[in-house]
Amino acid sequence: MNHLENEGELSSQTALTDSRNTEQTEDYGKSFEYDPEFKGPVKNRSCTDIICLFLFLIFLGGWIVLAVIAFQRGDPKQLIFPTDWQGRICGVGKMSGKPYLYFFDLTKCIGFASVLMSGCPTPQVCTSKCPNRTFTSLIAIDETSIKNEMICIDDSQKEEQTVIELVSSGNCAPFYLKSKPLAGRCIPDIFLSSSGEPDEKLANNIVQDINGKNVSGDEMKLAKESLETMLNAREIGEKIFQDFTAGWWLMLVCLLISLVEAFLWILLMKYSAGVMVWASLFCITGLLTFVCYYSINKYLELSDSTESYAAFTFTTNMKSYLALRKTWLAIALISGIVLLILLLVVISLRTRIRIAISLIKESSRAISSMISSLFFPVIPYLLQFCLFIFWGAVAMSIASSGKAVYRNVNQHNVSSVQDSPTCDPKDFKEITTDIHCVFSAYESESNLLRAQIYNVFGLFWAVFFIIGVCQLSLSIAFSTYYWTFNKPKDIPSFAVASGIGTCLRYHLGSVAFGSLLIAILRVIRVILEYIDQKLRKYDNKVVKVLMCLCKCCFWCLEKFLKFISKNAYIMIGIYGKNFCTSAKDAMFLLMRNIARVVVLDKVVDLLLFLGKLVTVGTTTVAAFYFFSGRIHFLKHYVPSLNYYLLPVITVAIGSYFIASCIFSVYNMAVDTLFLCFLDDCERNDGSAERPYYMSRELMKILGKKNKFKEPQ
């Protein structure tokens, strides 16, 4: 009897919903009408948005031309390897036997910005090795041995001139500091004792050059720290590379475990999605109830205490806030309001929550029937990885395609290389022995900025294009599953491959159109970030507020456009129409069922969040205990590492990436089946001519059924 009453209640709710949908038809378009020829995704299709496809191909052609020109003119080695004062790259070409760069006067390197932008305003020479001891060339006893160790701009003059003449002419450095190579530069190492700790005596030593200038240890230490700030990253990178080399296969095992966990989570949702959702809601309700109850008790406990609110000031000590009655009162009110809203939502939308749970189960069945869909995202991710490599190579080539600029510099009075007049080393005639035409920097051409913008826009458009192809291909496959009446008997064997083929043959233009819109918004956001960085130095609060509003608006607009594009791809996969028509139909269909949309979205987000939390959390914790050597019976398998947290962080990021990859397919399955379900509800009535394609569980929840005997 209760079962009949529940079915009657559901039927009345459905009838009420249908009447409301009828009232909204004029506002959100007409409901889908029955089409006797519609039996699922349209077979006879035509190409959509061809103009956008041609535009995309033309853009790709221009990108390739830009890349070819950049590769011809640019030299990424200029950005990687150090360059001496004559514009020669250390360790490359004629300098192949001299891979290190030595600075004559390191005190002029003080200041991170100057080192980063134009190098140190001091002679810089490529050398075969860094000095292995500290000495002053002016007090040389054996000139022959000193000359062999001296680092000079022109080594040919060593035989013709004395040590004093070599130093006074500015050809060779007056003093040398024991150094170690770091990122191709010779960095002084005189301030460390044999134990690795700072040596105060060495740090206070004073060296005197040919001009009588006293160079103290403190000055050299400051210059050394300035360079190490920029160059120490390479040393860290080498240690990181060693750790990856030592433990890569163990990290791979952890990532495979996370992959298995993601598969098991999808399998678990297939059989117990309802239990997981209701248990999660019950736990959240219980937690809010406990927080509200505990806060009220703490508020009452502090009722007799005396506290001065006027004397209270802001502090980072949380215990000061927890000692206040008002804090617990605020927590009690907030938790109570949230608890009340949650209970009202769950009670009023319980039927729609059941629909969402049933769709989640159906999505698990669809993925189980097309297991290849879980591995399909590997292809677009590999394409995106190759795309990032191509983009990075083009970007570096463009950045290094600038011309080398040379300037007249007095080597005994160098203040700023950039402020000196330019010169041409080929036509330069030496006025005095102190003035030289030396390399300053690589200056960008006027059109390089436009080339970089073109390159960045190409990256965004291509990335979103690949994502769109993936979404559209999967939507065709999952919609084919839904509109198959006898599941899983009549499901095509190669539904995913068929979806890819249909997308590539007919709908690349629509994908190009949707990805173009998102790419334009992303470029606008990047430009806004660039403008915001430039305007921060003015410290104008009005400008800050306006920029914050603009960035927020465009962020929301991009999110909304991604949502529309995704649902438009689903409608394209079903009906084969162009992007704009499909986006309009999808939007109107969702607006006619907005309550179901919200509930399904939040329920799916909850389950996928729990799935990511479990997958990433368990794998990361296990990796932490393993690589830190806390699992004793596996301790002999742990490799020797410089940073044991590095593989843990790598496993955490990798497992999150794997979980996101797997669950993105699951999310696409849910969204596709949901739109097909809404279409099914509007198009069919359960008769023999217009049967429902939804699962029996969904029909039971809605109080509907097919009015004929379904084949077993």
**Phi and psi for 315 in degrees, rounded to 5?**
-150, 155
Q: Are residues 557 and 625 in the same domain?
A: yes
Q: Are residues 215 and 117 in the same domain?
A: yes
Contacts (Cβ under 8 Å, ≥6 apart) of 98: 90, 91, 126, 127, 128
Nearest to 88 by CA among 406, 329, 315, 313: 406
DSSP element (H, E) containing 214: strand 214-216
- Tell me if 604 sits within 8 A of 356, measured CB to CB: yes
**Phi and psi for 694 in degrees, rounded to 5?**
-70, 165
Least reliable range by pLDDT among 113-122, 420-429, 578-587: 113-122
* Residue type at position 298: K
Q: Are residues 424 and 532 in the same domain?
A: no
Residue 279 lies in a domain: no
At 105, is the secondary structure helix, strand, or coil? coil
Evaluate the CA torsion angle 400, 405, 406, 412 in order and state its sign.
negative
Q: Where is the domain boundary, 204, 231, 258?
A: 231
**Phi and psi for 316 in degrees, rounded to 5?**
-85, -5
706 secondary structure, DSSP code = -
Residue 293 has what pLDDT? 92
Burial group, residue 49, by CB count within 10 angstroms (0-12, 13-18, 19+): buried
- Tell me if 638 sits within 8 A of 238, measured CB to CB: no
Residue 252 lies in a domain: no
Q: Are residues 595 and 473 in the same domain?
A: yes
Q: Are residues 422 and 538 in the same domain?
A: no
Residue 555 has what pLDDT? 92
DSSP element (H, E) containing 333: helix 325-348
**What is d(CA 566, CA 469) in angstroms, rounded to the nearest whole number?**
10
Q: How confident is the model at residue 18 (pLDDT cuts 50, 70, 90)?
A: very low
**Residue 136: pLDDT above 90?**
no
Alpha-helical runs (H) found in 169-317: 200-203, 217-301
Contacts (Cβ under 8 Å, ≥6 apart) of 547: 528, 531, 532, 535
Q: Are residues 392 and 511 in the same domain?
A: yes
Give me the domain span that covers residue 695: 46-70+373-396+448-702
Q: How confident is the model at residue 234 (pLDDT cuts 50, 70, 90)?
A: low
Residue 302 lies in a domain: no
Residue 394 has what pLDDT? 92
Of 537 and 305, more confident: 537
Q: How confident is the model at residue 461 (pLDDT cuts 50, 70, 90)?
A: very high
Tokens of 687: 């008769």
Q: Are residues 52 and 182 in the same domain?
A: no
Residue 261 lies in a domain: no
Task: Assign residue 124 a region (left: φ > 0; alpha: ψ between -120 and 50; beta: otherwise).
Answer: beta
**Residue 67: pLDDT above 80?**
yes
Residue 331 lies in a domain: no
C-alpha pair distances (Å), 598 with each of 25, 227, 354, 360, 608: 19, 55, 13, 14, 15
Q: Where is the domain boundary, 231, 260, 291?
A: 231
Q: Are residues 432 and 510 in the same domain?
A: no
DSSP state string for 625-637 = HHHTT-SGGGGGG
pLDDT mean across residues, the chain = 79
Q: What integer is the mean pLDDT of 13-29?
A: 50
Q: Where is the domain boundary, 231, 265, 286?
A: 231
**What is d(CA 25, CA 652) in angstroms, rounded to the nearest whole number?**
48
Residue 582 lies in a domain: yes
**Phi and psi for 127 in degrees, rounded to 5?**
-140, 155
Task: Assign residue 213 a region (left: φ > 0; alpha: ψ between -120 and 50; beta: otherwise).
Answer: beta
Contacts (Cβ under 8 Å, ≥6 apart) of 430: 436
DSSP element (H, E) containing 406: strand 403-410
Q: Are residues 417 and 495 in the same domain?
A: no
pLDDT in tens, 183-227: 778 877 654 444 444 444 444 444 444 344 555 555 555 555 555
**What is d(CA 664, CA 605) in angstroms, rounded to the nearest whole number?**
11
**Residue 99: pLDDT above 50?**
yes
**What is d(CA 85, CA 206) in angstroms, rounded to the nearest whole number?**
27
Residue 601 lies in a domain: yes
Tokens of 200: 């105060």
The structural domain count of the chain equals 3
Nearest to 646 by CA among 250, 165, 68: 250
Q: Are residues 567 and 671 in the same domain?
A: yes
C-alpha pair distances (Å), 182 with each of 6, 129, 218, 568, 621: 76, 12, 21, 53, 35
Q: Are residues 92 and 167 in the same domain?
A: yes
**What is d(CA 655, CA 616) in angstroms, rounded to the nearest whole number?**
5
- Tell me if 425 sits within 8 A of 108, measured CB to CB: no
Evaluate the CA torsion angle 636, 637, 641, 645 in order and state its sign.
negative
Q: Are residues 478 and 432 in the same domain?
A: no
Residue 193 lies in a domain: yes
Q: How confident is the model at residue 268 (pLDDT cuts 50, 70, 90)?
A: confident
